[in-house]
Structure 1
């Protein structure tokens, strides 16, 4: 598709992307912008990053650029740095092969991968698929056309060539863009088995672009959701962040629920939602996703800990309630229940400790909001997690979990002077069960 027939202009590419493209071109290699950057430019969005495909091997890319390092084993890439921006450069790949297939005539396996592989047989290292069809390695090099057909969705397999400023389309991606459709390249079941994360990506792309998922790509998903259990939990955490730390977070949630993917990613949460007759569990999750989306839209900072706190709150409460029935005091019960729930969740979607710790703090502070007399509210106000915990309390009130009066009290408490805070604390009701009234209990004298 020549330049007059599409909307991509070099002025919309970052300086780092242009320097990388022209650097490879001047070194005698083919270099094209590819993937999400091309897709977003064609639909009028501003890409967050730019990826480049080339016929240069990773080592040749490294020789071309002074600030370049090679990463990956399953998928060997070059990262070229210009200032604070990193451009990802990938060599054209051929389609992955199953263990019983030989090498393609015009494909070449990366010798560095063969040399470094732990397998005793070098031929075994070239095999890309396991017996279930999942991709293990993807370092068989090929042509640009082969590279296009091994990509996941047609709208992600478009190339922008700086030599003549044309868009190259081997798979019908331009037509799918015009028809606002997310369609897989090749047989959908095979492609999902190669990489089950593609089911999540289908949902995310459809929400982001306001497209529909093609029937051929949508129909197999409910029967294949179990494949996600074979994906490393750390990788699923990265994908969940892309789904929920987004302006389309609630739409992504709807897509996951529609296809049954949410039940696999968050089994305990899904169980709590199914058992909840009031609808408060789902309401809290949706409120948290809307709040996160709004903050992203307003260019405010967000944290995964807040989203996961809302997501796993109901299971944590249920676990704490079970422990309280066994005689465990409320605060230790919540701490122990939270630990159990987070541990279970990490079996499917890993939550790094820096986020799970903050998540636990947000939960623990919910109990302390009930105590408004004496020095307790002043100490709580100084807590470094106070703001996140307060925002979570406000969402709980919106979902109907706690009285709005409690949120209003803490809202006012933050905005008044120190003397007025003292007056508010003296006039406030005590904590649960009459505790926290500020009145000291007289100790019994020892005999």
Structure 2
């Protein structure tokens, strides 16, 4: 029998039940303005123009959230978010080339040349949850936050302090309502207000905390760790499709190995993917199943960073669940039947897309022939490219270099052309 991981028992750091007086909306802390002149060469010029036009029109407008965090951590943001005090109709009045989208909460798309879109959002706040007296996990989950607010309310509705930083491009200052700059300097993921409350309000924040720690190479604040352990059993209360999407997000940024390790270490994997967690709990040395899983994820991460973009979700999900899937059908007379029996509970638990579950089943069934180098009729399959990628990555993770390189050459020869490739090569 394998030993229990050290994280299974909740730490004795406080009561599991959160006092009802903690359910009040977050109270703004003192605003601190940090003079931090960010390198404007890293800021999209059209985003800068959008901010300045809103400011000249008399509105508050800032870079908000993840893009500010990334710039402070020395990373080039993939996306830029603009937050403003202007209501959608007021934004629309500033930019003729714009359109209002959304029904539940309206945003403005500001249009630039080449079909480029800058998304502008009005400041929001959380709905007041203090009116009710329910304190069960299910009653505490926030279902909507579509309420306009002020800049401080918008900052404090966010989940983590490092995501609650606003950049004033004119004054070249960071607006900090939640000591987020301190956590940037500490390289720490910390929630705004009590993490026990924040994770019970929305259990998916647990996965987001893990994602940020893994993706940005940050630590988890000790109180966040304790709260995750206390709240992890609330994860099934969240919408299943959100859980499935957040697990995939753990794998897309080239930090899947660390993310899955953290999820396992914190006991989160035991709630969401007990099939994989049970495999990782076994002690098997360098050649055991846990080592194989993490070598596979490390190879997946390396390829993701090399490509500069994530793999298809079917490839990611197959790589994540490959070892337990192979174990499930080992020695089975009906391998396909055994695979489906293994995958169905995962589909039910996380509302995994049927297309992805079916693709995983078909890819795993194709792997033995691909590993042996027998491509043959497999090329006719509509998931041949995905299966070939999984086969090649798994061989590389095993250290079978020659076989891996042979399949990699096959991938390059049969690469699907990107849209327009055929035109550019004429």
- Shorter-normalised TM range: 0.7 to 0.9
Match of 2:199 among 192, 198, 222: 192
Aligned to 2:232: 225
Query: How many residues matched?
Result: 375
- 1:127-150 deviation per Cα after TM superposition (whole angstroms, max 9, x unaligned): 9x9963111111222221222222
Q: Does 1:18 align with 2:48?
A: yes
**2:300–2:393 contact (8 Å) kept in structure 1:** no
Which segments of 5 or more consecutive residues in structure 2 lack a partner in the other structure? 1-31, 412-426
For the structure 1 residues 28 and 257, does the alpha-carbon distance in structure 2 shift closer, same or farther, using more than 3 Å as the test? same
Structure 2: how far apart are the matches of 1:236 and 1:51? Answer: 24
- 1:185-207 deviation per Cα after TM superposition (whole angstroms, max 9, x unaligned): 11111111111121112122222
Structure 1: how far apart are the matches of 2:266 and 2:351? Answer: 22
Aligned to 1:389: 387
Offset at residue 389 of structure 1 (A): 3.2
For the structure 1 residues 412 and 95, does the alpha-carbon distance in structure 2 shift closer, same or farther, using more than 3 Å as the test? closer
User: Which structure has the bigger radius of gyration?
Assistant: 1
**1:58–1:70 contact (8 Å) kept in structure 2:** no
Offset at residue 230 of structure 1 (A): 1.7
Structure 1: how far apart are the matches of 2:347 and 2:168? Answer: 43
Specify which structure has the bigger relative contact order, considering alpha-carbon pairs within 8 angstroms and separated by 6 or more residues.
Answer: 2
Offset at residue 101 of structure 1 (A): 5.5
TM-score for both structures, normalised by structure 1 = 0.73
Say which is worse superposed, 353-362 or 36-45, in terms of deviation: 353-362
Aligned to 2:278: 271
Aligned to 1:134: 141
Structure 1: how far apart are the matches of 2:409 and 2:266? Answer: 44
Aligned to 1:339: 340
For the structure 1 residues 87 and 313, does the alpha-carbon distance in structure 2 shift closer, same or farther, using more than 3 Å as the test? same
Q: Does 1:98 align with 2:134?
A: no
Aligned to 2:119: 88
**1:283–1:399 contact (8 Å) kept in structure 2:** no
For the structure 1 residues 382 and 284, does the alpha-carbon distance in structure 2 shift closer, same or farther, using more than 3 Å as the test? farther
Offset at residue 250 of structure 1 (A): 1.0
Offset at residue 7 of structure 1 (A): 3.9
Structure 2: how far apart are the matches of 1:352 and 1:287? Answer: 26
Match of 2:77 among 16, 37, 47: 47
TM-score for both structures, normalised by structure 2 = 0.76
Offset at residue 93 of structure 1 (A): 2.1
- 1:82-136 deviation per Cα after TM superposition (whole angstroms, max 9, x unaligned): 344443322222333227269xxxxxxxxxxxxxxxxxxxxxxxx9x99631111
**1:69–1:78 contact (8 Å) kept in structure 2:** yes
**2:65–2:166 contact (8 Å) kept in structure 1:** yes
- 1:374-395 deviation per Cα after TM superposition (whole angstroms, max 9, x unaligned): xx75334565644543453455
Q: 1:60-209 to 2 correspondence within 5 Å?
A: 60-65=90-95, 66-71=97-102, 73=104, 75-82=105-112, 83-98=114-129, 100=131, 132-209=139-216
Match of 1:303 among 312, 317, 320: 312
For the structure 1 residues 32 and 275, does the alpha-carbon distance in structure 2 shift closer, same or farther, using more than 3 Å as the test? same
Aligned to 1:368: 369
Q: Does 1:281 align with 2:289?
A: yes
Structure 1: how far apart are the matches of 2:210 and 2:409? Answer: 43
For the structure 1 residues 240 and 63, does the alpha-carbon distance in structure 2 shift closer, same or farther, using more than 3 Å as the test? farther
Structure 2: how far apart are the matches of 1:341 and 1:64? Answer: 55
Structure 1: how far apart are the matches of 2:283 and 2:245? Answer: 28
**1:284–1:310 contact (8 Å) kept in structure 2:** no
Offset at residue 221 of structure 1 (A): 0.7
For the structure 1 residues 289 and 408, does the alpha-carbon distance in structure 2 shift closer, same or farther, using more than 3 Å as the test? closer
For the structure 1 residues 14 and 271, does the alpha-carbon distance in structure 2 shift closer, same or farther, using more than 3 Å as the test? same
Task: Look up the SS of the partner of 2:124 in the other structure.
Answer: coil
Q: Does 1:57 align with 2:87?
A: yes
**2:312–2:386 contact (8 Å) kept in structure 1:** no
**1:99–1:130 contact (8 Å) kept in structure 2:** no
Q: 1:426-437 to 2 correspondence within 5 Å?
A: none
CA RMSD, aligned part only? 3.4
Match of 1:378 among 372, 376, 382: 376
For the structure 1 residues 340 and 69, does the alpha-carbon distance in structure 2 shift closer, same or farther, using more than 3 Å as the test? farther
